[in-house]
Amino acid sequence: MGFDSPEFWIAVLQIIAIDIVLGGDNAVVIAMASRRLPEQQRNKAIFWGVFGAIALRVVLIFFALQLLKIAYLKIVGSVLLLWIGVKLLAPQEDGGHKKIDASAHLIGAIKTIVVADAVMSLDNVIAIAAAAKDSLALVIFGLVVSVPIIVWGSKLVLALMDRFPIVIIGGAALLGWIAGDMMANDVAVKDWVVANAAWLKYGAPVIGAALVVLAGKLFIAGALPAGAPVDLATPDQKKE
């Protein structure tokens, strides 16, 4: 895929959407890790922490791209991606960031940001590797565009997700779409799909998206009392 390819820009938009939907908590971590620093050091901590987090994520996604070339691993990855999508719609529990310690030193804050981002980014890595379709250049381009949006526009992103839950539902559906597409393109079944069920090329993504949204709604319905309003906001959004 080149810059003149529609598939390239569709994949870029998917990566940006994935990072924005799944990266809200990462923005909260960055804020919490650097909150004890003096004002003049806080921006440095955020810059170098984000730089390190992007570099580490590119390395992790590189290995994920290699692994997804092995037969059946795309199927396994797609199942995990479906679960991530459903979990995104599930009611959130309190205390998600209580273990993130703020540091009074620049190096300590940078280390906390990088380590915490790595721990929290498994879902991002799997989803972006699936959307990138074996292109590391696409991964880097998408991350360079989306991560600054998350970090410096985190309050706006979180406010939009809080005010318009449809954004979260759309993000979950996107993960299901990518999971369905990835499953139909696994090395072990790709030739069979082309020969015997070509409709799955377009049908599998639709089924995946619908499955995530339906399962997510059932998850919410089972977790809340009858008649209770659905609230997709995270605990951190509720505090603001």
**CA–CA separation, 132 and 10 (whole Å):** 10
Orientation of helix 39-67 relative to helix 122-132, angle to 10°: 50
pLDDT of residue 117: 67
- pTM score, two decimals? 0.69
Give 74's contacts (C-beta < 8 A, 6+ positions apart): 68, 130, 182, 183, 185, 186, 187
Residue 41 clears pLDDT 50, i.e. is over it: yes
Mean of per-residue pLDDT scores for the chain: 76
User: Could you tell me where the beta strands, DSSP code E, fall in the chain?
Assistant: none
pLDDT of residue 225: 46
pLDDT of residue 196: 92
* pLDDT confidence band for 227 (50 / 70 / 90): very low
Does residue 117 contact residue 34 with C-beta atoms inside 8 Å? no
Q: Where in the chain are the domains?
A: 6-239
pLDDT of residue 199: 92
pLDDT of residue 142: 80
State the sign of the Cα–Cα–Cα–Cα dihedral 10, 174, 23, 139: negative
Question: Which of 233, 217, 238, 236 is CA-nearest to residue 85?
Answer: 217
Question: Which of 4, 13, 15 is CA-nearest to residue 139?
Answer: 15
Residue-by-residue DSSP string for 192-231: HHHHH-TTHHHHHHHHHHHHHHHHHHHHHHHHS-TTPPP-
Residues 61-115 pLDDT 10s: 888 888 888 888 888 888 888 888 888 787 655 444 445 555 667 787 777 777 7
pLDDT of residue 226: 41
> Which amino acid is present at 50?
V
pLDDT of residue 15: 83
**CA–CA separation, 235 and 212 (whole Å):** 22
* pLDDT confidence band for 208 (50 / 70 / 90): very high
Residue 198 clears pLDDT 80, i.e. is over it: yes
Residues 116-127 pLDDT 10s: 666 666 677 888
pLDDT of residue 237: 45
pLDDT of residue 57: 79
Which is more confident, 5 or 150?
Answer: 5
Phi, psi of 230 (to 5 degrees): -85, 125
